[in-house]
Amino acid sequence: AISYLENSLSKRLGEDQAKRLKNTYLQIYSTSLEDAIDENVDLIIECIIENIDEKRKLFKTLDAIAPQNVIFASNTSSFRITLLSESCKAERRTRFLGLHFFNPLSVLRLVEIIPTPWTENTVISEVKSFAERIGRIPIILNKDVPAFLVNRLFLRLTSECAWAVEYGEYSFEEIDSLLKYRFGMPMGIFELHDVLGGGCIDITYHALNYLNEEHGDAWKVPPVFGKLMSENRRGRKWGAGFYEWGTNDIEIKPRRWSLDHLIRVLSPVINEAAWLIENEVVADINDIEIGLIHGLNFPRGLLHFADDVGIDKIVDQLENLYKKRNEIWYKPNKILIDCVTQKKIGRSTMRGFYTYSQVMYEFVIVEKIESVGIIKLNRPHRGNAVLPTMLAELYTAVEHMIYDKNIRSIVITGTGKHFCTGADVTAFFSEEKELVNFNRLGNRLFNLIERSPKVIIAAINGAALGGGLELALSADIRVASKNAKIALPELRLGLIPGWGGAYRLVRSVGISLAKYLMLTGKTLTAEEAKQYGIIHEVFEENSFQDKTLRIAKEISRGSLSAQSLLKHLCANFFGYDDNKILMDELNVYKLLSNEDPIEGIKALYYKREPKFVDSIDIKF
């Protein structure tokens, strides 16, 4: 264990710091429970092998030697906490709960807190504070159910993907391609099972069997898991799992998928989420979204996804599957049926799981400070990478502020570490009509920003890459924090800058420098970008927001009529044709029809250099 700890820390922190931490750890490390537990211990977290008998045995031992005030917590991912707490005396159970962390800890910050019926509220509060102090994002469940919240949804997704293969609808690689490239998971579901921890097929197999024992036919175990276990194909470490692992790494090939395929695979998971809501496992439905994003690294929450595509389409898919397969887990949950009956099917009706308006968005935060409107891109877990829904929300937010007479200038910035890291690559693997719409949404938004009668400032914090820089270039003024970095790296992926980015960069710095920056994909620091005239002001990080706001307020004191006329004159002076930009960018679709962008994006995922085949001849 100590050797593993040192190796893990060395990779992330360097050998010297890892050794210092190891020495600190050795000072508190004990070889026996009796030596480790004294009057100074406040909390004991159990994280041994996922075997309920072993866990119960350990807690019985701990109960006999630990002071009565010590809180007991289990890191089990599946077993009901109530069952584990029964290993202890009745008076201990009030200080017993689940504290479920997610792997890898360095990436996934979520922790689930699962009380039993006996857990005291003060204990829940203490553990929540502890989780926050160590940099975790805690969610507290209302009820103790098998696999809790996040793993329950993960297991439903895993199970459904396996059943879809069993039914002959997809292959393992097709499912992984769909979830990885079209939905945006870091790995495909079967790829993940083969790779995580060297292979975790056995863990999922046991968890699915446990759910089957608890819930019967609602959780039938897909036959493929039993088959893989009997053949000792548990993942990469065993040489085989869902895939054959030889000396070469396996790479999942990108494909173009329609939205219908995502609806097919995700509908049963959304149905399971509805079960959690119906059974009051969560106090706040937003905990489902937080759990999926920060516990599974999902690109977005599934309730928002359902609202986006339409809950009626989710119900239709489930009803078709229920009719065809006659499996109880496909029967649409009452929560979903009620949404359809009450015409609360999502964004199209302004109500679904969430309520939508001009001030309530999924990916955008709007604020107003005096006469300054502030729009924040709010997808920090993905570097504020842009999705079609995000573009539509940005358009609505900007338009609303343009028509708001109390707002005289507008600032666009990002939450988290970055301004915007560009277009989400999942958009490139949608159907052609969706891709065309994505391009038009971006052009429409950036033209609105550029031609707004009010001055718009792009406040660049962190990275502005690809579409993020293209967004900033459409603004009137660009300011940046000292840690900002900008680039148009599309050519590295076998693509070209979109949304008028190439034209706007040429207009800002001249054709020679613009071509150099785009062809090399060179990343510029904030100071370098200022020297080239791309950024107008650079501020220290601790004063960035205040100084940006000061500029916006100064502009707000000016004449809107004069500012609007000046913007109009400048736009007419350069006089480029919107239709020409759009037609030229249709070359993107020609590029996307060949192998180069597929190779470029695949290389990005697998962290290697792309091998382009140059298989297309663009006509000018």
Q: Shortest CA distance to 296 belongs to which of 109, 78, 98?
A: 109
Q: Shortest CA distance to 319 belongs to which of 336, 305, 307, 303?
A: 336
Q: Shortest CA distance to 149 belongs to which of 47, 78, 84?
A: 78
| 351 vs 397: CA distance, rounded Å | 18
| 284 vs 288: CA distance, rounded Å | 8
Say if strands 96-101 and 110-115 run parallel, antiparallel, or are unpaired: antiparallel
Other CB atoms within a 10 A radius of the CB of residue 161 amount to 25
| 453 vs 456: CA distance, rounded Å | 9
Judging by beta carbons within 10 Å of its beta carbon (0-12, 13-18, 19+), is residue 154 exposed, middle or buried?
buried
- What is the DSSP secondary-structure string of 454-518? SEEEEEE-SEEETHHHHHHHTSSEEEEETT-EEE--GGGGT----TTHHHHHHHHH-HHHHHHHH
Is-contact 377 419, C-beta < 8 A?
yes
- What is the DSSP secondary-structure string of 272-336? HHHHHHHTT-BSSTHHHHHHHHHHS--SS-HHHHHHHH-HHHHHHHHHHHHHHH--GGGSPPHHH
How many Cα atoms occupy the beta-carbon half-sphere of 158 within 13 Å? 28
Taken in order 416, 491, 457, 459, is the CA torsion positive or negative? positive
Q: How far is C-alpha 414 from the chain's CA centre?
A: 15
In the block, tokens 């960035």 appear at 544
3 state DSSP class of 374: strand
- What is the DSSP secondary-structure string of 197-238? GG--HHHHHHHHHHHHHHHGGGGPPPHHHHHHHHTT--BGGG
The residues carrying an active-site annotation are 470, 490
Phi then psi for 279, rounded to 5 degrees? -90, 10
| Start-end of H helices in 328-431 | 334-341, 388-403
As a dihedral over the C-alpha atoms of residue 225, residue 175, residue 380, residue 487, rounded to 10 degrees, the angle is 130
DSSP-derived secondary structure letter, 386:
B
3 state DSSP class of 351: strand
In the block, tokens 């180069």 appear at 596
Say if strands 477-481 and 409-414 run parallel, antiparallel, or are unpaired: unpaired
Taken in order 538, 539, 541, 547, is the CA torsion positive or negative? negative
